[in-house]
Amino acid sequence: MTFSDPEVAVVIPCYNEEGAVGKTINAFKKALPDASIYVYDNNSTDQTILEATRCGAKVFSEFRQGKGEVVRRMFADIEADIYIMTDGDDTYDANAAPELINTLLAEKHDMVIGCREFAETAFPQGHILGNRAFSQLINVFFGANLSDVFTGYRVMTRRFVKSFPITSLGFEIETEITVHMLQTRVSYKEIPTKYGARPEGTSSKLRTFSDGFRILSFLVFLIRDVKPLLFFSTLSLFVGLISLALGVPVIFEFMDTGLVPRFPTAILASALALISTTCLFVGLILENVSRGRLESKRMFYLNTLSTPPGHRNY
């Protein structure tokens, strides 16, 4: 490696990864012999903890269920210069880790993303299509050009990890990391990495439709928080169009008869017009609030030490 001995932590969130976590640990030990490897178990009912311990990882437990809960705990507990987040299912290419780290340091990024090159048998086609659709959606909203927003293979600086206010609970964590990275405009880069099939005898916890719906719901709430003017002006336009569609016949009747109708359609159209106007003003107000929050996030990021107190810098 070309860097001068930064302290590297490989952090692995795990839930029922017996048969895979050991292979993951051994692969990263071989690729990064000087790195510290941490496994955070999330209430596994198999031999994940025993397997990880036997392979030499530092093993801890997070009892609140959900990948987001585990990542929040890992980022809070572990001190290092560089963090490599990966899954414990032995699907990500550990041999790519040195290149990802070198790129992070040489080009002074805060995140290098190991975007996945899918093998034919590695992932269900529905997951691949969903990933592409969500990636495109985030690219449109945030002006990015990402190809894999759901990858769990990321190399990050301490500055990014320690200034990231995680709120997600489950598999939405990758979406939140991506949106926070784009919103705060930190430097990042995608590098293609191999992505293989899970070891035989192990099973994925991902569910195409239920997980997709949860991620879509979470993304909508994220857009509401980080781009409130866009969110509420879109809502205002939608409600306004419905109000207009209901109100036009009322206007024509008034023009024909000279009388103001008092039937429910007129009342509903008026109420919707009021809601539409309110949404627009709410968006304008929250846009200023969101900008203030973004400035605070950015200042906190800039004031976060890039290396732990008392540690060497690089």
Model confidence pLDDT, tens digit, residues 168-225: 887 788 989 998 999 899 999 999 999 887 777 666 666 656 666 777 787 788 788 8
Distances (CA, A) of 105 to 22, 86, 90, 161, 307: 28, 19, 25, 15, 13
Give the residue-averaged pLDDT of 100-109.
95
CA–CA separation, 207 and 258 (whole Å): 59
pTM across the whole model? 0.81
pLDDT at position 237 is 93
Whether 101 has a pLDDT exceeding 90, the answer reads: yes
More confident residue, 163 or 300: 163
Question: Mean pLDDT score of the chain, rounded to an integer?
Answer: 85
pLDDT at position 154 is 96
Whether 314 has a pLDDT exceeding 50, the answer reads: no
| CATH fold of 8-226 | Spore Coat Polysaccharide Biosynthesis Protein SpsA; Chain A (3.90.550)
User: Structural domain boundaries of the chain?
Assistant: 8-226, 228-302
Whether 303 has a pLDDT exceeding 90, the answer reads: no
